[in-house]
Amino acid sequence: MELYIDTANIDDIRQAAELGILDGVTTNPSLIAKEGVDFHNRMAEICEVVTGPVSAEVVSLEHDAMIAEANELLQIANNIVIKLPSTVEGLKACKTLSDRGVKVNMTLCFQPLQAMLVAKAGAFLVSPFIGRVDDTGADGMDLIQQIRTVYDNFGFQTKVLAASIRHPMHLVQCALVGADVVTVPYKVIKQMMHHPLTDKGLAAFLADWEKQKATV
Ligand code: E4P
C-alpha cells in the first residue's frame, strides 16, 4: 500500500520524507489556505522535497477553465498530478487531460458510480473520502470496499486513494480491503509506529539491562 501525506505544511512533508517511506503528497484548497502561502510557490517547494506524485487541485468549475488552470500547474514540476472534483465538468476535464497523458486525481468521490466513471475517463487516482462519510453516520470503509470490487470486476487500472483518514484503524481497514494508496496527516503517520506495549516493553528491557549491569 502506497503512503501519501495529506498536507501543504512543508515542515510536516520534510519530516515525513525523512522517514524514507513517503510515496507522494496530496493537497487541497483548504490545506493551502491554512498555510497562508502562495499556492504555486508552495507546490514548487513540495515538489523539491518529494519526487513521487504531488496532487495540486484546481478551483475552477468549468471544463475549459479547469484545463487552463491545470496547464499552469503542470509547469511547476513534472511530478504534479492534477486534482479535479468528481463532477460532470471534472469528468470531462479528466478525460481531456488523461488523453494527453496527464495524471489526474479525481477528488471528493462519495459513491462507486463516480469512481467507475472517472476510471473510464482515465483517472490515475480516485479519492474516496472515508472520514467525511463516517461523519454522516454511514461507514466510509464500505465505499472503499465497493470501489475496490467494481475496479477488480472490470479491470480498471485507476488507483484507489483512500482519503479523509482520521486514525490508524482506518489504515488497517484500508490495507485489509486493498486500497492502493492512503493519504494521511503527519500526526497519523506517526501514530502508525506507536503502540503502548512497544513503549512498555522497551522500558522493561532497558530497566532489566541496567539491573544486570549492576550485578556484573
Ligand atoms: C484528500 O485528498 C483530501 O485532501 C483529504 O483527505 C480530506 O480530508 P478531511 O476530510 O480530513 O478534510
* Global confidence as pTM: 0.95
Atom of ligand 1 nearest to the CA of 83: 2
Could you tell me the pLDDT band of residue 215, with boundaries at 50, 70 and 90?
A: confident
What does the pLDDT average to over 45-62? Answer: 98
Identity (one letter) of the amino acid at 191?
Q
Residue range 132-190, pLDDT digits in tens: 999 999 999 999 999 999 999 999 999 999 999 999 999 999 999 999 999 999 999 99
Please give the residue range of the domain that contains residue 126: 2-215
pLDDT of residue 86: 98
Residue 197 CA to ligand 1 centre (angstroms): 30
Report the C-alpha gap between 54 and 81 in whole angstroms: 6
Minimum CA distance residue for ligand 1 atom 5: 164
Query: Residue 129 corresponds to which cell in the numbers above?
Result: 473520502
Nearest Cα residue to 177 out of 130, 144, 211: 144
> CB under 8 Å to 198, separation ≥6 — which residues?
none
CATH code of the domain containing 100: 3.20.20.70
Nearest Cα residue to 158 out of 100, 108, 119: 119
Q: What is the CB < 6 Å shell around ligand 1?
A: 6, 26, 28, 107, 127, 129, 131-132, 163-164, 183
Helix 63-74 and helix 88-99: axis angle, to 10°? 40
For residue 214, pLDDT beyond 90? no
> CB under 8 Å to 174, separation ≥6 — which residues?
1, 130, 141, 144, 162, 165, 182
Atom of ligand 1 nearest to the CA of 105: 2
What does the pLDDT average to over 182-200? Answer: 96
pLDDT of residue 216: 77
Query: Where in the sequence numbering do the catalytic residues fall?
Result: 83
Residue range 1-53, pLDDT digits in tens: 999 999 999 999 999 999 999 999 999 999 999 999 999 999 999 999 999 99
What is the domain count for the chain?
1
